[in-house]
Amino acid sequence: MKFSALSLFLTVTSAAVSQPKPAAKSYKGYKVFRVPVGTDASKVSGIVNKLGLTTWKGAPRAGTFADIVVPPTQVAAFNQEVSGMDVVTMHQDLGASIDEENSFGTYAAGAVNSTWFNSYHAYADHLQFLRDLVAQYPSQSEIVTSGNSVGGRPITGIHFWGSAGKSKKPAVVLHGTVHAREWVSTMTVEYLGYNLLTNYASNTEIKGFVDKYDFYVFPVVNPDGFVYSQTNDRMWRKNRQAAPSGSSCIGRDINRNWPFQWSVSGGASTDPCAQDFKGRAQGDAPETAALSSWLKTIKANQGLKLFIDYHAYSQLFMTPYGYSCTALPTKNTEFQALAKGAVAAIKAVYGTSYQYGPICTTIYKATGSSVDYVNDVVGADYTFTSELRDTGNYGFVLPASQIVPTATETYAGFRYLLQNMK
């Protein structure tokens, strides 16, 4: 299958100058290991707890792998604990991997073209890229915001439309970078919007998509966290909300804070220091409050056809619900058929394999999530979430060389949905 944007990737080379942007927190000498958990998670969990280590994919779960970050001072002790286990090294030196990834391309304002996707970029350049894209297509696009972050940054996206005019068609809404360290989601969501808008005039199929729906593309819905991941700590996940009373730990996981099934136990943490801290009350993160209100307004004003929340990593394409492993949405049969088709379309591009199914049974239980909220409270026609590349070779620190392949295959899955939704 051939995509017009792919040809741009193959023929255009970047003239950008690399500028190293090392994070303030050093991960020099840190290693990341992938450990098979086996049928009993207690052994691996015990190692993590005993050595005070962090994991990249939540608490170790039976039948899966645990991706464990080990500082230099604990490597010897860790190796002793996992002796005899089939351990794989993901990052021999996490700091070196981050330094390589953080060679941001210099963006010249106004230079909107596919070379943008050859590297990661500073947050300010992401905003400029969106402004420049609107400037290139002023009659059918605009900058939109869906509220402000806890730090006062506007949650910024691009809205574009087709021949019917602005806000006349049902909406398709895409979210990226809910979790700050998931940088490939930022680039991928931008690519989806860029591919549709820049090929509208030349591609009949794409023109049909854009004439049928209004698109709202938000590459970074956690701007404070994203900036912090670029300037202070590459592994930062949450927003930058002040620590609650009695704790010194900053931030809420804004994808465990949505006001639907928030109080269900087992799908998020009540510990402010945990990566998946749900907050003290549902919707108490300003980002969540703003996004949920904005989505309800869009639904009321023009209808909400499709909502997708893009994350990384694990190569998954998932449907509601996260809060329960037994409850299923009314349209589950249709959701599964669409998800199956989407992962087949993704695989057809480069052979990349994704798994699909409900969030809870496919990855883990997650309460207070955007997808569950948008499905049941907002009432979107279709709701999905996706974990992008990869499955554990690089994890969150995905090389820039994989941005375009990731985005291109993701477009194939997205395209399948646009072709097959009722």
How far lies 290's CA from each of 156, 242, 294, 367, in Å? 12, 17, 6, 19
End-to-end CA distance of the chain: 23
- Smallest CA-to-CA distance from 144 within 162, 165, 123, 159 is with 159
**CA–CA dist 291, 163 (Å, integer):** 27
Give the orientation angle of helix 204-212 with respect to helix 403-420, to 10 degrees.
60
- Its sign, for the CA torsion 389, 394, 398, 400, is negative
Partners of 311 in beta bridges? 387
Closest CA relative to residue 53, chosen from 26, 79, 88? 79
Burial 70-92 (b: 16+ CB within 10 A, else e): bbeebeeebeebbeeeebeebbe
Nearest 5°: phi and psi at 367? -100, 155
Helix/strand number for the chain, H first, E second: 13, 14
335 contact partners, CB below 8 Å, separation of at least 6: 319, 320, 329, 382, 384
Give the angle 136-411-400 at the CA atoms, nearest 5°: 80
CA distance readout (Å), 174 to 163, 204, 304, 402 = 21, 22, 11, 20
Question: Could you give the CA distance from residue 233 to residue 98 in angstroms, rounded to a whole number?
Answer: 10
d(CA 253, CA 241): 10
Contact predicate 98/235, CB 8 Å: no
Residue with tokens 């809060």: 323
Q: Which residues are catalytically annotated?
A: 387
C-alpha 38/C-alpha 420 separation (Å) is 39
